[in-house]
């Protein structure tokens, strides 16, 4: 089974995308931009018909599509229900996505003897048993889809006392067991670093990336979060522009992992489409610097402006 | 035991251990009558998961039931959302499919005892949402040829999956229309003329029962009142009665003041995308 993804050899350009949300449908379809691909949340297109599917069909003519699921609950001991997989398969067959992903989390459980979906990305305990469950479910999903998945790291709001390995080891072993690759969400690492009171969040995040083998990353997510007061936990709300730390970590990630497809996520407090595209342009410019290609010539951002992004730390 | 048996046993044990851990977590984040959370975790983190669940549930219901939100206000809507999480937790992994039990919950809500029509408005919202997510259909025009080749007693109608019929003892169409974004900014006089007076007139009728059709000509779901004869017609067609037999039944029904004429109805049905095809 091979991941259906774009060529990443040294001569190819890095693919930069943005999350496509309902409020941006019209502009995304009608405004010229440098965007290579758009990511949509799979479940928002599970309807049998209607306007959203029509928009997706139009978007897929203009952009490559990445299907990012948020409800598969890959680590659920309840398993991933067949009815969910049928819908995901159906959707994938209609939009031919270049990437398909979900999270290292669980979502399904039981209440009063009935199956329930928690509607959230719930954290996994990094134990041998959880690894077996997650790997088993991913294997089943990949068999069903006939392709590899990208699995994303979460932001942590709690820590399990019975976890027996670091997150990076857990994820690395997961790729070995299943053949999946990782979707590394840089913002999630920074959020976790802050929430566990890491002395130097950026150093923590760089170390996290350093522990991931260089050939395991299939996509990078960039996002921002709302600052909180001391003593409060940061919520991964995707409601702000990418932080300076986020951009610094992105540069480090590109240097380590190469030309990995990169997506700018912004889900709440949505900016204009132009602002979102500008964030993607910024990512492209950084990639241009890291890989010393002509990406910078495509956008109106000077090296000086880019360096300015990092001078406030 | 063979290696594969050992492996399966080990996998089964792993699933059981993890299921127990996850079950505890799920029980702790779903709202219940007893709000106290007792576990090993940072209460700030657990509060985030609980709040996320509530916020997402409220947001999902607000998308599916926008008119109910306007009618009852944010505070009561959020309370009702939490109650629905307790009584009918989501089970699909697709929030758009959650909320079938919301109208019933609203009907039983003590705070709405003086506003019994809210549950029917919720049903209108729910049907509209289902209509707009239903399979896209274009009528199979070739199937209309059956009318020229077969007796209508042997022809049946397959209705479009995006049309829904419901009834209410309240003028829900007027109530529903008066709470849409496009009209709530109208002047009091305009609202009175368009919706309030017609509603009062209808409520004054003895044994008032409004028959409602929700349908989707293109992407947006529309709503209109059904005459009694068309309501009876659609009910028979849904039950699988042939065209000829349904026409006979309605013609012989003395309670229906206005008769039913199939030919003009077919034109309207094509215009409003009410039917998928004819079949034998």
| Tens-place pLDDT, residues A72-108 | 999 999 999 999 999 999 999 999 999 999 999 999 9
pLDDT of residue B38: 67
Residues of chain A positioned with their CB less than 8 A from the CB of B44: 157, 232-233
Q: Reply yes or no on whether the pLDDT at A172 is more than 60.
A: yes
Residues of chain A positioned with their CB less than 8 A from the CB of B45: 156-158, 195, 233
pLDDT of residue B1: 53
Q: With CB atoms and an 8 Å threshold, state whether B96 touches A106.
A: no
Residues of chain A positioned with their CB less than 8 A from the CB of B48: 157, 233, 235
What letter would DSSP give residue B149? H
**Worst-scoring range by mean pLDDT, A301-310, B166-175, B233-242, B261-270?**
A301-310
**How large a percentage of chain A has pLDDT more than 90?**
84
Find which of A69-78, A289-298, B192-201 is predicted with most confidence, using mean pLDDT: A69-78
Closest CA–CA distance from residue B15 to any residue of chain A (Å): 5
**How large a percentage of chain A has pLDDT more than 70?**
90
Q: With CB atoms and an 8 Å threshold, state whether B91 touches A115.
A: yes
Residues of chain B positioned with their CB less than 8 A from the CB of A156: 45
Residues of chain A positioned with their CB less than 8 A from the CB of B15: 77, 129, 132-133, 136
Query: Which residue of A lies nearest to B20 if distances are taken between CA atoms?
Result: A77
Domains annotated on chain A, with CATH: 16-308 (3.20.20.150)
Q: With CB atoms and an 8 Å threshold, state whether A133 touches B15.
A: yes
Residues of chain B positioned with their CB less than 8 A from the CB of A120: 29, 49, 52-53, 56
Best residue in B49, B50, B94 to probe A by mutation, most A CBs within 10 Å? B94
pLDDT of residue A10: 57
pLDDT of residue B264: 95
Residues of chain B positioned with their CB less than 8 A from the CB of A117: 89-93
Q: With CB atoms and an 8 Å threshold, state whether A54 touches B219.
A: yes
Query: What is the average pLDDT score of chain A?
Result: 91
Q: Which DSSP string do the residues of chain A spell out, in sequence order?
A: --------STTSPPPEEEE--GGGHHHHHHS-----EEEEEGGGG-SSSSHHHHHHHHHHHHSEEEEE-SS--TT-TT---HHHHHHHHHHHHHH--SEEEEES-EEEEEETTEEEEEEEEEPPP-SHHHHHHHHHHHHHHHHHHTS--EEEPPP-SS--TT--S-HHHHHHHHHHHH--EEEEEHHHHHHHHHHTT-SSHHHHHHHHHHTS-TT-EEEEEE-------TTSPPP----SPPPHHHHHHHHHHHHHH-S--EEE---SS---HHHHHHHHHHHHHHHHHHHTSTHHHHSS--HHHHHHTTTT-
Nearest to B132 among A50, A114, A160 (CB): A50
pLDDT digits (tens, 9 = 90+) for B60-83: 999 999 999 999 999 999 999 999
- Interface A-B, measured as beta-carbon pairs within 8 A, has a size of 142
pLDDT of residue A1: 35
Best residue in A42, A71, A90, A119 to probe B by mutation, most B CBs within 10 Å? A119
Q: Reply yes or no on whether the pLDDT at B146 is more than 70.
A: yes
Query: What is the average pLDDT score of chain B?
Result: 91
Query: Which residue of B lies nearest to A52 if distances are taken between CA atoms?
Result: B133
Query: Domain extents for chain B?
Result: 3-133, 141-169+209-279, 173-204
Closest CA–CA distance from residue B93 to any residue of chain A (Å): 5
pLDDT digits (tens, 9 = 90+) for A7-56: 445 567 899 999 999 999 999 999 988 899 999 999 999 999 999 999 99
Q: Which helix (H) or strand (E) holds B211?
A: strand B210-215
Query: Which residue of A lies nearest to B91 if distances are taken between CA atoms?
Result: A116
């Amino acid at each position: 089974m091979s991941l259906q993804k774009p060529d990443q050899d040294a001569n190819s350009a890095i693919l930069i995308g943005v999350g496509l949300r309902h409020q941006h449908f019209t502009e995304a379809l009608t405004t010229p931009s440098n965007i290579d691909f758009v990511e949509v949340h799979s479940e928002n297109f599970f309807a049998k018909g209607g306007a959203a599917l029509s928009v997706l069909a139009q978007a897929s003519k203009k952009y490559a599509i990445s299907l990012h699921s948020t409800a598969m609950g890959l680590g659920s001991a309840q398993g991933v229900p067949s009815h969910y997989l049928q819908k995901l398969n159906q959707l994938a067959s209609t939009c031919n996505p270049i990437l398909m992903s979900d999270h290292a989390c669980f979502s399904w459980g039981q209440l009063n003897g009935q199956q329930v979906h928690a509607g959230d990305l719930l954290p996994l305990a990094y134990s041998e048993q959880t690894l077996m469950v997650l790997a088993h479910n991913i294997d089943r999903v990949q068999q069903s889809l006939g392709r590899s998945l990208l699995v994303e790291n979460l932001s942590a709001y709690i820590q399990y006392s019975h976890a027996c390995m670091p997150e990076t080891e857990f994820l690395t072993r997961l790729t070995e067991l299943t053949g999946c690759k990782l979707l590394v969400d840089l913002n999630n690492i920074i959020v976790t670093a802050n929430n566990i009171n890491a002395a130097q969040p950026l150093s923590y995040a760089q170390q996290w990336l350093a522990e991931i083998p260089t050939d395991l990353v299939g996509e990078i997510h960039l996002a921002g979060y709302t600052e909180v007061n001391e003593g409060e936990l940061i919520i991964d709300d995707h409601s702000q522009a990418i932080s300076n730390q986020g951009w610094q970590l992105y540069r480090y990630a590109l240097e380590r992992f190469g030309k990995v497809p990169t997506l700018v996520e912004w889900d709440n407090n949505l900016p204009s489409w132009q602002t979102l595209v500008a964030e993607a342009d910024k990512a492209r410019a950084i990639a241009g610097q890291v890989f010393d290609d002509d990406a910078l010539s495509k956008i109106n951002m000077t090296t000086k402006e880019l360096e300015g992004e990092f001078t406030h730390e | 035991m063979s290696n594969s048996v050992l492996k399966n046993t080990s996998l089964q044990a792993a699933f059981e251990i993890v299921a127990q851990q996850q079950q505890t977590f799920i029980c702790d984040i779903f709202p219940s009558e007893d709000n106290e959370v007792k576990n090993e975790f940072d209460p700030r983190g657990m509060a985030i998961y609980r709040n996320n669940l509530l916020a997402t549930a409220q947001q999902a219901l607000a998308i599916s039931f926008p008119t109910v939100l306007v009618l009852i206000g944010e505070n009561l809507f959020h309370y009702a959302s939490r109650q629905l999480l307790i009584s009918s937790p989501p089970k699909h992994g697709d929030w758009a499919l959650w909320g079938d039990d919301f109208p019933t919950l609203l009907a039983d809500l003590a705070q709405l005892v003086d506003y019994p029509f809210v549950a029917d408005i919720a049903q209108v919202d729910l049907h509209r949402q289902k209509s707009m997510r239903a399979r896209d259909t274009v009528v199979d025009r070739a199937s209309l040829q059956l009318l020229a080749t077969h007796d209508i007693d042997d022809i049946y109608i397959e209705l479009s999956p995006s049309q829904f019929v419901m009834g209410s003892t309240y003028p829900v169409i007027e109530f529903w229309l008066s709470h849409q974004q496009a009209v709530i900014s109208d002047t009091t006089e305009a609202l009175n003329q368009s919706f309030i007076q017609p509603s009062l007139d209808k409520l004054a009728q003895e044994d008032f029962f409004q028959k409602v059709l929700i349908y989707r000509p293109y992407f947006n779901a529309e709503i209109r009142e059904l005459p009694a004869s068309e309501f009876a017609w659609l009910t028979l067609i849904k039950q699988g009665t042939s065209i000829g037999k349904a026409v006979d039944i309605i013609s012989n029904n003395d309670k229906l003041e206005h008769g039913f004429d199939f030919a003009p109805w077919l034109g309207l049905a094509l215009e409003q995308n009410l039917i998928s095809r004819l079949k034998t």
